[in-house]
Amino acid sequence: MRILVPAAIYHEFAAAANNTERPRRLLGSLYQSWQLQGYLLARRTRKEALVQKLKQNEANRFQRIRDFLGSGTPEPDKHFELTEKLFFLLNDFEAKWKSDNEQTRDEIHEIITRLDLLSQDVADIKKKDADRSQQLEKFSDQLSFVEQLVRHVESSNVNRYDYLEADRNIFRQINGVDATETGRRIRRIGRKLSVAASVEHAKIRMGAQADGGYVCLNDFGGIKTALSFGIDNDVSWDLDIAGRGVIVHQFDHTVDGAPVPHQNFRFNKQMIAPNAEDGHASIGSILQLNSLSEPASVVLKIDIEGNEWDVFDSTPEHELAIFSQIICEFHGFQFVEDDAFFQKVDRVLTKLEALFQVVHVHGNNYCPMFSIGGVAFPSLLEVTFINRHRSTFCETKEVFPTSLDQPNNQNRPDFFLGRFVF
């Protein structure tokens, strides 16, 4: 390496070099000093070149990350926190480079590593979102096909009762029950649900003008408590009852609370069962807990998806007698070919018949009307019972559905039950 020494200094010391030892030593020290400075200058030059190269490499990587983030479909709502962290690091990275490069290489590499990890997370999320989008698109196509099929079936002129009756015949052959016996059973059930009219009180509709609304007797004198078993997301009946100043104790284990609040609502997240076990509630336990014992003093609305048969079967008559009205949705009449089920239905309706009079029936058209032993009968029937001690009754010539009734499913016609005489 050539060291450039200022000429004036060099000649001054060279002229005295032969005369004294001291100038020679000074010249040597000066030479060594300039040699060291040259070494340091070269080292700094190499370092700056290395840093510049690193800076360029990381800047390129930084741009690639920027480009990556800008590609694809952004998810600002779903991944806001992750994206915010990522851009915070990117901005921090830029700020460090724009400074006088005082950050160490380790710190800068740590930032780059975190950027790489976060960008990989973004890539994984985008891939998962793409997969979910494909699944949703496929599901949407399947749903469209099913909807088209349903519309086709509903608009078809095919007599579906023929197919239903064929299915019932197969069931009867398996269980050894002939069509004559099945017809006898369903007619017996119909007779136990024979409708009469109250002499003292008219009927009114309470609740929604669709599913969730029921026809009741307008007899609420002295009624301070009602029980509502099974509310789901519709409390329109409960609201009408509560509006009369009646406390409504609601029970439903499938929801966390009433969808609409009311000062007279008392919600309980419990399943109604034959016995008060395993956290469940029974009719007897509820009456006892709320000190309800006066006969014909409580209104009951019950829609518990088929469990009503076991609940009523296990409830003694003296507890049922506490109700002034029972509005119930009965499920599963198409299964009367089964001996055990028919015997349970017969026991329950016999018990209720002794205490109550049916004043209204309505077929729920969310479930089909079956031809059972040659008898048309809805599989889901709404029935209004009135305590025999609350009213006197007379024969009625009403035809069902009445003007008070509304189809549960507004997209289908209501079921014609005629006078419901068997």
State the Cα–Cα distance between residues 25 and 369, nearest whole angstrom: 121
Q: What is the mean pLDDT of the chain?
A: 79
Q: Classify domain 165-395 by CATH number.
A: 3.40.50
Q: Is 247 exposed, middle or buried (0-12, 13-18, 19+ CB in 10 A)?
A: middle
Q: What is the pLDDT of residue 128?
A: 73
pLDDT value of position 322: 98
From CA 255, how far away is CA 391, in angstroms rounded?
Answer: 36
* pLDDT at residue number 66: 59
Q: In the prediction, which pLDDT does 87 show?
A: 58
Which residue in the block uniquely carries the two structure tokens 């048309």? 376
Residues in the chain, pLDDT under 70: 1-51, 53-55, 57-119, 121-123, 126, 135-136, 138-178
For the chain, which residues make up each domain, given as ranges?
A: 7-126, 165-395
Digit-coded pLDDT (tens) for 104-148: 556 666 666 666 666 676 667 767 777 777 766 766 666 666 666
Q: How many residues does this entry show for the chain? A: 422
What distance in Å separates the CA atoms of residue 69 and residue 398, rounded to the nearest whole number? 71
User: What is the spatial distance between Cα 399 and Cα 397, in angstroms, rounded to a whole number?
Assistant: 7
Quick one: 281 exposed, middle or buried, by C-beta within 10 A (0-12, 13-18, 19+)? buried
Rounded alpha-carbon distances, angstroms, from residue 285 to 198, 272, 273, 307, 351: 31, 10, 10, 17, 20
Q: What pLDDT score does 289 carry?
A: 96
pLDDT at 4: 47
Identify the pLDDT of residue 170: 44
Measured from the Cβ of residue 32, the count of other Cβ atoms closer than 10 Å reads 11
Angle, helix 80-98 to helix 105-155, in steps of 10 degrees: 150
Q: Among 172, 258, 246, 245, which residue's Cα sits nearest to residue 212?
A: 258
- ∠ CA 91-92-96, rounded to 5°: 115
pLDDT at 63: 65
Q: Look at residue 92 in the predicted model and tell me its pLDDT.
A: 60
Q: At what angle do helices 80-98 and 21-69 cross, to 10 degrees?
A: 160
Yes or no: say if 265 and 242 are a contact pair by the CB < 8 Å rule.
Answer: yes
Q: Is 302 exposed, middle or buried (0-12, 13-18, 19+ CB in 10 A)?
A: buried
